[in-house]
Amino acid sequence: PPRLRLNQPPPFPRPTSASSDLMAPSPKAAPASRPAQFLVDAVRSKDEARLASVLGNLRGGSPRGPVIGINDPHPVTGRTALHEAVALGRLGLVEALLQAGA
């Protein structure tokens, strides 16, 4: 066995292609969604007018168009805006999100 000297750091294995593959992002990982972050933040505010404003902004100008990111998970918590509204017990917010396509 190799001898270790007191003034040298212990030897560590060098990264291999297999170990570097483990550090690469998963192709299935969803990209962080800013719209989801805006939606969840609006739900957490418990302000129905704020949520309505965010929903309107994320419709891309069309009053009945699809809401961008409505079902995307929050980049930190992994919860959708609908999950958050249900967890907070805010029926008005839940209804607004469902009407928007969640």
What is the secondary structure of 24-53 as a DSSP string? SPPTTSPPP-HHHHHHHHHHHTT-HHHHHH
The Cα–Cα gap between 61 and 90 comes to 26
pLDDT class of 101 with cuts at 50, 70, 90? very high
Structure confidence at residue 27 (pLDDT): 41
> Span 67-87, mean pLDDT?
95
- Taking the alpha carbons at both ends of the chain, their separation in whole angstroms is 62
> Span 69-81, mean pLDDT?
94
Q: Which are the contacts of 88, defined by CB distance < 8 A and separation ≥ 6?
A: 43, 44, 46
Question: Does the pTM of the predicted model rise above 0.85?
Answer: no
Give the number of other CB atoms < 10 A from CB of residue 41: 15
